[in-house]
Amino acid sequence: MEEEIGLSLAGLLFGAAGWFTLRYVIFGFFTVNQNERVVKTSFGRAQRLQTTTLDNPMAEHLRPDERSRYQYPQVRVITPGGPYFRWPWERVHRVRVATETANLAFDPEDPNANRGGSMLDAVTKDQLNIGLIGQLRWRVSEQNLYAYLFGVKRPLVHVLGYFISILRQRIASFEAPSAGEHRALPAGDGAAPGIDLKVAEGVSINDLRKNLRDLNEQMDRDCLSSAARYGIVLDASLITGIDPPAEVESALAAINTAHNHVGSEISLARAAADQKIVQSRRAVEIETLNAQAEVEPLLQLANQLADLKRNGSGTGLLKAYVRNVKLQLFSRARAAFMEVTK
């Protein structure tokens, strides 16, 4: 009986040892793919380095009051390759670092939000509710994996909310950049007094539609601190469409049509004026050349007479030249009147 108990105990210990070897030794090896980075934790604590995020260039985009709040430790990152080994008390955290795309209207917590994830609502500076369509490219920052893994519970949800709040604030306060050419036309320019060409472009939806590139660039600059805050780099925001409310669509179409008509008329007037200016300049150049062509022979003749007077005053060359000229004139004249002295 005792011998059977001993054999059973030995078999149990052998099975436990085999299971431990299979579970924690053989399956303790792991590899890392090319689009992955790995952080190991030992008893829940990541393997840290001696630096923090404040020692990284990404911290330059943080405000002074945020530097102490987002001072995350730098962790040891396992790069692609392997095999690597982990002990039973260690845990492997895998992170995808490939660039991913998300819809601006996507809400990870509520798929039915924002019209089913198809359009994001915002309010302009003139109190119009508009819909935004676009995409957001993002990736995990390898230099701040601690913030992504342990800083916030759901980093993507947090970053999308952070981006959308900045976007709505920009939409509510957006103004078209001044080009220095918007001005009120005086009555002498063919327009009624008091017509301001900036009126049509002062409509917030028109400003946003015509300056989508500026808006996207502003969003990229405003979100540079997301890597230091949450460990997510926002590569680019691509706002591709802005839909106005249905009740103002016709009014906006009429405004845009009138503005395009005014702009077309002004362009035609400027083109006609520029053409007349060019023609006037050409006419002045032609008359100037004609005058120079008439004056040039006289200048040459004056120079010749001066040389004759200077070099042939004693030999009578000048008198002979004058005599020959008179003879040519007499040959062409029909009548000649000569002074006779008495």
Quote the mean pLDDT of the chain. 79
pLDDT tens digits for range 39-81: 999 988 988 988 998 988 888 888 888 888 899 999 999 999 8
Q: Does residue 140 carry a pLDDT above 80?
A: yes
Distance, in Å, from the CA atom of 94 to the CA atom of 78, rounded to the nearest integer, reads: 10
The alpha-helical segments, DSSP class H, found in 312-339 are 317-332
Residue 87 pLDDT class (50, 70, 90 cuts): confident
Q: Are strands 29-32 and 81-85 parallel, antiparallel or unpaired?
A: antiparallel
Residue 336 pLDDT class (50, 70, 90 cuts): confident
CA 172 distance to own-chain centroid = 20
Report the pLDDT value the prediction gives residue 183, as an integer from 0 to 100: 42
Q: Does residue 200 carry a pLDDT above 80?
A: no
Looking at per-residue pLDDT, the higher value among 29 and 197 belongs to 29
Distance, in Å, from the CA atom of 67 to the CA atom of 59, rounded to the nearest integer, reads: 7
* Widest distance between CA atoms in the chain: 182
Report the pLDDT value the prediction gives residue 185, as an integer from 0 to 100: 41
193-218 average pLDDT score: 65
Q: Does residue 17 carry a pLDDT above 70?
A: no
Q: Count Cβ neighbours within 10 Å for each residue of 206-216 and write b for 16 or more, e otherwise.
A: bbbbebeeebb
Helix (H) or strand (E) segment spanning residue 247: helix 246-311
Q: Does residue 155 carry a pLDDT above 80?
A: yes
Residue 93 pLDDT class (50, 70, 90 cuts): very high
pTM: 0.60
Report the pLDDT value the prediction gives residue 291, as an integer from 0 to 100: 87
pLDDT tens digits for range 221-233: 888 888 898 899 9
Q: Residue type for 106, please?
A: F
Distance, in Å, from the CA atom of 166 to the CA atom of 224, rounded to the nearest integer, reads: 12
Q: Does residue 274 carry a pLDDT above 70?
A: yes
Domain boundaries, the chain: 36-185+196-244, 286-332
- CATH assignment of 36-185+196-244, among 3.10.105.10, 3.40.50.1950, 3.30.479.30, 2.60.120.20: 3.30.479.30
